[in-house]
Amino acid sequence: MEELQTSLEVRGLSVSNAPDKGRSLITTKELYPGEVIISQEPYVCVPNNTLTEPRCDGCFSKRNLKKCSACQIVWYCGSTCQKLEWKLHRLECLALAKLDKERRMSVTPTIRMMVKLYLKRKLQNEKVISTTAMDNYELVKELVSHMSDIDEKQLVLYAQMANLVNLILQSPDIDIKEIAENFSKFSCNAHSICDSELRPQGTGLYPVVSIINHSCLPNAVLVFEGRLAVVRAVQRIPKDAEVLISYVDTAESTMNRQKTLKEQYFFTCTCPRCIKVGQYDDIKESAILEGYRCRDKACSGFLLRESDDKGFVCQQCGLIRNKEDIRRIVSDIKALSDKALKSTSSSNPQEALILYKNIEKLQKELCHRFSVSLMRTWEKLLEILMQLEEWKEALKFCRLTIPVYERVYPGFHPLLGLQYYSCGKLEWLLGETEESIKSLTKAVEILQITHGTNTPFMKELLMKLEEAHAEASYKHSSMEE
Ligand SMILES: C[S@@+](CC[C@H](N)C(=O)[O-])C[C@H]1O[C@@H](n2cnc3c(N)ncnc32)[C@H](O)[C@@H]1O
């Protein structure tokens, strides 16, 4: 721990203990938006492999994959990644290769991550892999596990998973109870590794990044550059302040955020947004995010339940919406959503498109125009239309999401920046150069803070903006001639 404190000190950070939160990461110097607070390679990580969609164990790529011929579980895109992982995989491979076919099928990414955790500890103990202040098993020992908060069913599951890990490792000095506790640590400490566009690729354990606590109004953001976790400030953070990221989607209502935080991380958030729970502002916000729209289509009021529970009253114009009317639309949406889920999972985008358009129609009748459910449907429609290469319609839905994103996310939020980026790319493709410049400029403003400026992803975005500017001046000059 002392070694870690020294290593953090040079980065302008320290670890302190708070009675209500446990360890916290504190600044010892002022930080500015876009500044890297801390970055860390994973102690262990695994790609989110499925049987039908494997990824490379080194870089998580889906291209040019070859299966490890010995264990038949792990994939690589080439010798560079294979070499990078070799010290660890050599041992893992020997262990996995001994499993019968049926057992091999039950080796999920989480099981593999645990196997790798113990193998890395072994290799570090034997000094085959070096140890640093930010890369050692002692840091894993410090992670919270919340074992006493976990219900019986979950404990049984962890015990079963621990037995499988034990069977794979076949090492006498490993304690099954400790493995089960480590599964619990994974659940509240591991991070989903996403690409620059926030698409999940894998899961990793970053024991120093895991010291950072949660706030629904965070001052920092976690993004990944390959497997490297990078935490950047999204606002000015004064000296002696706590670094805070969000563990959940901050677009959700207070009740939903609190529910997720309680179920997965076992705490009640007391951030400035959460302490307002039950107050008028928070009730209004939840009614907008999750509630219904006014019967009068021209009214933008939000609705609250009537005291006699017969319906919902618009808080702007007083019109009442009948409970039965609402129940009917809710049930129609539910039936359509169930069907839509099946059609997207069975890769029928045309059918999914029709279903989601019908859902959107009903949600527009039912929900407030800033509702999260409507926003999620627009996101889904955008995704399907992109898949179908229906650029013009895709742009329509991308544009619809922006005002909602602007409302539900803070100014420097990666999702907002990425949505502007998508808009800009679509506008560029459709020849709307001036609009594209506006959208790409907004994307740059946000993403240079959340993603930095030096990554290939950002360089590509900056190049696209440059191209759009060049195209615009070419258009201007040809019009003048
Ligand atoms: C990833 S860890 C964060 C570091 C942790 N405080 C520690 O001591 O290792 C997540 C756990 O920290 C605690 N935590 C995180 N944010 C919190 C908050 N805003 N309020 C209270 N507890 C919090 C919860 O126990 C949660 O399960």
This model of the complex carries an ipTM of 1.00
Please say which residue of 341, 370, 402 terminates a domain: 402
Among 15-24, 197-206, 468-477, the range scoring the smallest mean pLDDT is 468-477
Q: What pLDDT does residue 345 have?
A: 62
Report how far residue 418's alpha carbon sits from residue 440's, in angstroms, rounded to the nearest whole number. 10
| Protein residue with its CA nearest to atom 27 in ligand 1 | 265
Residue nearest to atom 7 of ligand 1 (CA): 23
Residue 438 included in any domain: yes
Q: Are residues 423 and 383 in the same domain?
A: no
Ligand 1 centroid distance, CA of 116 (Å)? 25
Residue 201 lies in a domain: no
**Are both 287 and 375 inside the same structural domain?**
yes
Q: Which atom of ligand 1 is nearest to the CA of 214?
A: 16
Quick: pLDDT tens for 309-333. 889 999 999 999 999 999 999 999 9
159 lies in the same domain as 188: yes
Q: Is residue 166 part of a domain?
A: yes
The whole-number average pLDDT for the span 177-190 is 97
Task: Of 346-350, 399-403, 458-462, give the lowest mean pLDDT range.
Answer: 346-350
**Average pLDDT of 337-347?**
81
Distance 238 CA to ligand 1 centre (A): 21
Assign 2 a pLDDT band (cuts: 50, 70, 90): confident
Assess whether 53 and 187 both reside in one domain.
yes
Residue 59: pLDDT band with limits 50, 70, 90: very high
Question: Domain residues for 218?
Answer: 1-41+206-277
Binned at pLDDT 50, 70 and 90, residue 128 comes out as very high
Give the mean model confidence (pLDDT) for residues 42-48: 97
The dihedral over CA atoms of 447, 452, 453, 455, expressed in degrees to the nearest 10, equals -100
CATH number, domain with residue 430: 1.25.40.10
Pocket of ligand 1 (CB under 6 A): 20-23, 143-144, 146, 188-189, 210-211, 213-215, 265-267, 269
183 shares a domain with 234: no
Where a domain ends, among 277, 302, 324? 277
Give the tokens for residue 84.
């990078």
For 409-429, letters b (16+ CB in 10 Å) and e give beebbbbbbbbbbbbbbbbbe
SS3 176: helix
If asked whether residues 236 and 346 sit together in one domain, one would say no
Q: Report which ligand 1 atom has the smallest distance to the Cα of 143.
A: 9
CA–CA distance from 402 to each of 117, 168, 311, 313, 452 (Å)? 41, 48, 31, 28, 22
Bridge partners of residue 38, in order along the sequence: 231
CATH code at 219? 2.170.270.10
| Secondary structure tally for the chain: helices H, strands E | 16, 15
Structural domain contains residue 200:
no
Ligand 1 test: best mutation among 20, 210, 214, 269, most atoms within 8 Å of CB? 214
Q: Is residue 17 part of a domain?
A: yes
- Per residue in 423-438, pLDDT (tens digit) is 999 999 999 999 999 9
Which residue, 194, 224, 241, sits at the end of a domain? 194
Do 264 and 289 share a domain, yes or no? no
Task: Say what the pLDDT of residue 346 is.
Answer: 64
CA 125 to centroid of ligand 1, rounded, Å: 29
Mean pLDDT (whole number) for 285-295: 95
In the chain, the percentage of residues whose pLDDT exceeds 90 is: 90
CA distance linking residue 358 with residue 348, whole number of Å: 16
Convert the pLDDT of each residue in 250-272 to its tens digit.
999 999 999 999 999 999 999 99
Q: For residues 118 and 67, state if they share a domain.
A: yes
Residues 118 and 189 in one domain: yes
To test the pocket of ligand 1, the residue of 149, 186, 213 to mutate (highest count of ligand atoms within 8 Å of its CB) is 213
Q: What's the rounded mean pLDDT across residues 381-409?
A: 97
pLDDT score at 52: 82
Q: Which of 265, 269, 274 to mutate to test the pocket of ligand 1 (most atoms within 8 A of CB)?
A: 265
Is the per-residue pLDDT at 154 higher than 90?
A: yes
Inform me whether the pLDDT recorded for 1 exceeds 80: no
User: What is the residue with the minimal CA distance to atom 15 of ligand 1?
Assistant: 213
Q: Residue 24 CA: which ligand 1 atom is closest?
A: 6
In a domain? residue 326:
yes
432 and 322 part of one domain? no
Measured from the Cα of 144, ligand 1's closest atom is: 9
Tell me whether residue 256 is in a domain: yes
State the total domains in the chain. Answer: 4
Can you give the pTM of this predicted structure?
0.94
In this structure, the answer to whether residues 268 and 298 fall within a common structural domain is no
| Whole-number Å distance between alpha carbons of 124 and 146 | 26
Q: 199 in a domain, yes or no?
A: no
141 lies in the same domain as 102: yes
The yes-or-no verdict on residue 479 having pLDDT over 80 is no
Does residue 347 come out as left (phi exceeding 0), alpha (psi in the -120 to 50 range) or beta?
left
| Residue 214 β-bridge partners | 245
